[in-house]
């Protein structure tokens, strides 16, 4: 692998360290933006799979382990964007879904340089540790890559939860396991008989500490467990890695959320939901000066319908990918 000069963008302060990856870029890549790599780490923590297989010969003898990195998505376009930007891997069809796969040793090592010490979630770090350990069994001690003890979680917590909002990590994670949504709630106090409720949602198995940190940062939001209310979550202490949902509906929090996604762009179709939610937020803020009737009301109804279509795709995708964990 050739050595490249570090891009000037790496001067920007970040909680991530991509130095090892930048010195091992694919030969045809002169530069990959720091913001994209932050997005990729977040996207991988949501949908990435660090898979190890142990082939067995016909005589029953175990061969050296083989490593695979896989991301499964309903949406092909975001995986093609990933492959083109990162410079390696393959995208193929798998039933009704698409998969981004890296299987060759050179690019597996590149991913190790990228992820090593840069993963936030405890369970992702545990899977990555198994992955890098399997990789090192194939090589002599002088060729092994040391596992870098992760410090991202501690950094995130130590900086009053704001550090993640100065990176594109959350945009990547939202592209994988989040969505923007809108509900029409019956409310006779409004002339239309209902009110609009904007929702920002993140889903994840386990890692409740992360949602607690976000809730404290936003000073709003609720943490739900699949099939349970927030008050009943603590009663389920025996369940291992339950599925949690973090949901924000506060308009005050949406000011922060929308500002973040203006700076750090979503790269999947959820970007279009963000644009619709942003427009709906404008109409909600200006309801008194811009009455919801005629053309304005028709625009609002169209925006709501567009959000629901994207949310449906997200739910269908999660039913598949979460079942594979």
pLDDT for the residue 173: 97
Fold of the domain spanning 8-150: Endonuclease I-creI (3.10.28)
CA distances from 1 to 4, 21, 22, 67, 68 (A): 10, 11, 11, 19, 20
Q: Report the predicted TM-score, pTM, of the whole model to 2 decimal places.
A: 0.85
- How many whole angstroms separate alpha carbon 34 and alpha carbon 163? 15
Give me the pLDDT at residue 4, please: 41
- Asked if domains 8-150 and 163-324 share a fold, the reply is yes
Contacts of 97-100 with C-beta under 8 Å, sequence gap 24+, read 97/72, 97/73, 97/317, 97/320, 98/72, 98/73, 98/74, 99/70, 99/71, 99/72, 99/73, 100/70, 100/71, 100/73
Domain map of the chain by residue range?
8-150, 163-324
3-state DSSP call for residue 61? coil
Using the Cα atoms of residue 75, residue 76, residue 79 and residue 81 in order, give the sign of their dihedral: negative
Q: For residue 59, what pLDDT is reported?
A: 76
> 78: which 2 tokens?
């975001």
Give, for all 325 residues of the chain, the pLDDT tens digit: 443 434 434 334 568 899 999 999 999 998 999 999 999 999 999 999 999 998 887 777 778 899 999 999 999 999 999 999 999 999 999 899 999 999 999 999 999 999 999 999 989 999 999 999 999 999 999 999 999 876 677 767 665 567 888 899 999 999 999 999 898 766 666 666 667 889 999 999 999 989 998 898 888 999 999 765 554 445 444 456 789 999 999 999 999 999 999 999 999 999 999 999 999 999 988 988 888 888 988 888 888 887 776 666 555 555 444 444 4
Classify strands 178-186 and 194-205 as parallel, antiparallel or unpaired.
antiparallel
Class at the top of the CATH hierarchy for domain 163-324? alpha beta
């Amino acid at each position: 692998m050739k050595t490249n000069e570090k891009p000037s963008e790496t001067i920007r302060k970040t909680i991530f360290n991509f130095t090892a990856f930048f010195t091992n870029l694919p030969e045809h890549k002169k530069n990959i933006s720091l913001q994209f790599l932050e997005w990729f780490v977040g996207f991988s923590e949501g949908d990435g799979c660090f898979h190890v297989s142990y082939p067995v010969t016909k005589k029953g003898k175990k061969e050296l382990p083989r490593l695979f990195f896989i991301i499964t998505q309903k949406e092909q376009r975001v995986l093609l964007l990933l492959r083109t930007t990162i410079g390696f891997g393959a995208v193929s069809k798998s039933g009704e879904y698409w998969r981004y796969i890296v299987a060759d040793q050179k690019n597996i090592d590149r991913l190790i340089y990228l992820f090593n010490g840069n993963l936030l979630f405890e369970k992702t770090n545990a899977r990555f540790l198994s992955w890098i350990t399997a990789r090192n069994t194939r090589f002599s001690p002088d060729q092994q890559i040391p596992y870098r003890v992760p410090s991202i979680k501690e950094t995130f917590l130590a900086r009053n939860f704001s550090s993640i909002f100065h990176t594109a990590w959350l945009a990547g994670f939202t592209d994988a396991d989040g969505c923007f949504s809108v509900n029409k709630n019956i409310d006779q106090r409004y002339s239309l008989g209902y009110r609009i409720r904007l929702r920002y949602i993140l889903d994840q198995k386990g890692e409740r500490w992360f949602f607690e940190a976000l809730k404290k940062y936003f000073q709003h939001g609720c943490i739900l467990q699949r099939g349970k209310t927030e008050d009943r979550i603590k009663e389920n202490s025996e369940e291992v890695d339950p599925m949690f949902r973090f949901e924000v509906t506060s308009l005050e929090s949406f000011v922060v959320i929308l500002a973040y996604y203006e700076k750090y762009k979503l790269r999947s179709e959820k970007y279009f939901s963000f644009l619709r939610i942003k427009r709906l937020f404008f109409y909600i803020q200006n309801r008194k000066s811009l009455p919801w009737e005629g053309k304005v009301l028709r625009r609002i109804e169209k925006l709501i319908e567009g959000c629901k279509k994207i949310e449906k795709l997200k739910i269908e995708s999660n039913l598949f990918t979460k079942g594979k964990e």
